[in-house]
Amino acid sequence: MKEIVLNDNLVKNDLFPFALTRHVAEIRIGILTIREKWEQLLNQSIILSSDENMSPDNITVFPANLVPTKEFIQSLTKNARKDFGEDVYKTFEYPWHIFQFNDWALRKDFELVTSGRISATIPETVHVTNSRNIFIEEGATLSHCTLNASTGPIYVGRNAEILEGSIIRGPLAVCEGSTVKMGTKIYGATTIGPYCTVGGEIKNSILFGYSNKGHDGYLGDAVIGEWCNLGAGTSNSNLKNNAGEVKVWNPISNSWGNAGMKCGLFMGDYSRSAINTSFNSGTVVGISSSVFGEGLTPTFIPSFSWGYKPFEKYELEKGIRDISNWKKLKGKTITEEEIIQLRNIFNQS
């Protein structure tokens, strides 16, 4: 097959704030990122591009927001693209599509990553329903928890940990190195990305990686970027009091989008909330913001915000310093490339 290029030039602006800091193909939905899905399905490396003037010679270009499946790849080889059905692939155009399609993506990824493999043994102390729909990677630790896979598959990644008293319904992915703290309640369809820590109550949400929701509070119908932290007691609303459509603000297009009846929080990379923060339905938080203040949050919090009521600007050097401190907590360091990217976002915000 020709080299595959995933191009996000035409789609990245509608996926604020997550496409500010990553190529769209690096967005996680299901167990894997979009790029990882392509590479596993094709067994070859994928080229990522944002070039609006790509030459199609000797390459095949796909939009970076197309989520492939095994059936999709098989159809490509048969030149049968006109026969694709809704279950063969998805394209997500807006941030809320990430959690709306996550149930489908989790089931497809579970089939992909577990095909032909045998799960590690489920410990005797774990209460299980439908064990055939559960896959545990080597190195994962589970103790005195409940896994109900009757509603969808449950995947527990390498070196992940699920502590005592946690109650989980699939579909769910707890990715590599993540921790589910004691007494956590998780409903599908939820993805806990690599090296995250979660607690409290979570439903139909995606945490991309290295983020924390470590304490009580509710997170529902939400997407959380990388290196975020939700303070103890933080909760989001995902349903308006009048049960009307939730509207979501996009500062790039300067327009509102209709996300449906249920929509929670979209938090960009490196942002954090203070304890007991209450997020409005459909709230969008930009990059590297520190969210604190009285009452419900505004529905849009720009990048590099320092609190609200009133908004103040988060000083760039302090923001970089604080991100560096958070990274140290997980044994990582901020890179020069990240600093340059943050400076660019700060100057444009």
Residues 3-31 pLDDT 10s: 899 999 999 999 999 999 999 999 999 99
Are the C-beta atoms of residues 246 and 260 closer than 8 Å to each other? yes
41-89 per-position pLDDT tens digit: 999 999 999 988 766 677 889 999 999 999 999 887 765 555 566 788 9
pLDDT tens digits, one per residue of 137-148: 999 999 999 999
Beta strands in 3-98 (DSSP E): 3-7, 47-49, 59-63, 66-67, 90-91
| Mean pLDDT, residues 171-185 | 98
Asked whether the beta carbons of 106 and 30 are under 8 A apart, the reply is yes
pLDDT at site 36: 98
pLDDT score, position 52: 81
pLDDT tens-digit map of 295-315:
999 999 999 999 998 899 999
Query: Which string of DSSP letters, residue by residue, matches 77-94?
Result: HTT-GGG--TTT-EE--S
pLDDT reading at 203 higher than 60? yes
Cα–Cα dist 300/284, whole Å: 5
Q: For the chain, how far is it from start to end, CA to CA, in angstroms?
A: 42
Average pLDDT, stretch 196-202?
Answer: 98
> Is the dihedral angle over the CA atoms 121, 107, 21, 59 positive or is it negative?
positive
For the chain, what's the residue count? 349
Residues 206, 187: Cα–Cα separation, whole Å: 12
Mean pLDDT of 144-164: 98
C-beta atoms surrounding 239 within 10 Å: 15
Q: In the sheet where 312-313 sits, what is the strand order?
A: 141-142, 161-162, 179-180, 197-198, 212-213, 229-230, 272-273, 290-291, 305-306, 312-313
- Which pair of structure tokens corresponds to residue 158? 């390498």
pLDDT of 1: 61
74-130 tens-digit pLDDT = 887 765 555 566 788 999 999 999 999 999 999 999 999 999 999 999 999 999 999
Q: Compute the distance between CA of residue 174 and CA of residue 181 in angstroms, rounded to an integer.
A: 12
Tens digits of per-residue pLDDT, 223-257? 999 999 999 999 999 999 999 999 999 999 999 99
Question: What is the pLDDT, as a whole number, of residue 82?
Answer: 53
Q: What domains appear along the chain, each with residue ranges and CATH number?
A: 1-74 (no CATH), 114-348 (2.160.10.10)
257, 248 Cβ separation under 8 angstroms? yes
Q: Residue 248: CB partners within 8 Å, gap ≥ 6?
A: 94, 95, 96, 256, 257, 258, 259, 263, 266, 282, 284, 299
Q: Are 54 and 7 in contact (CB under 8 A)?
A: yes
For residue 230, what are the contacts with CB-CB under 8 A and spacing of at least 6? 212, 213, 214, 215, 217, 219, 224, 272, 273, 277
Residue type, 53: N
Q: What is the mean pLDDT of the chain?
A: 95
Q: Please give the model's pTM, rounded to 2 decimal places.
A: 0.95
Q: Can you tell me the mean pLDDT for 264-291?
A: 98
Please give the pLDDT value at position 79: 58
Per the model's pLDDT, the better-predicted residue between 55 and 211 turns out to be 211
Note whether 184 and 166 are within 8 A (CB).
Answer: yes
* pLDDT bucket at 337, cuts 50 / 70 / 90: very high
pLDDT beyond 60 at 170: yes
CA distance 307 to 327: 21
What does the pLDDT read at residue 87? 84
Instruction: Give the containing element (helix H, strand E) for 323.
Output: helix 316-328
Given a cut of 60, is residue 346 above it in pLDDT? yes
Preceding amide of 171 cis, omega within 30: yes
